[in-house]
Amino acid sequence: MAVRYSVMKSTANHPDYKPSTITCACGMIYETFSTRGDFAVDICSNCHPFYTGKQKLLDSAGRVERFNRKYGRGGSKTGG
Ligand SMILES: [Zn+2]
């Protein structure tokens, strides 16, 4: 019984993935596999404001505090 999967064919000419390092501007280095070799990025999950939350907290800290006071909620829960 012949079973043919397209994935079997694709493995014959798979891309040439090789160990690579991604270097971020913040100094973070990620080890991965890539067809393009080593390369650098300007931002990563280590330094992105979305992940660090620093910029976001600086901007919204006052509003959150006022909101909690207005509605009488404790501020024990950190947004995030
Ligand atoms: Zn980074």
pLDDT for residue 18 is more than 80: yes
Mean pLDDT of the chain: 73
Cα dihedral 7, 10, 12, 15 sign:
negative
Tell me how far the alpha carbon of residue 29 lies from the centroid of ligand 1, in angstroms: 8
Could you report the per-residue pLDDT of 61-72, keeping only the tens digit for each? Answer: 566 667 667 777
pLDDT of residue 17: 87
- Pairing relationship of beta strands 29-34 and 39-41 according to DSSP bridges: unpaired
| More confident of the two residues 27 and 64 | 27
Is residue 33 within 8 A of residue 20, CB to CB? The reply is yes
Which CATH architecture fits 15-55? Irregular (4.10)
Q: What angle do CA 57, 60, 63 make, to 5 degrees?
A: 140
Tell me how far the alpha carbon of residue 28 lies from the centroid of ligand 1, in angstroms: 5
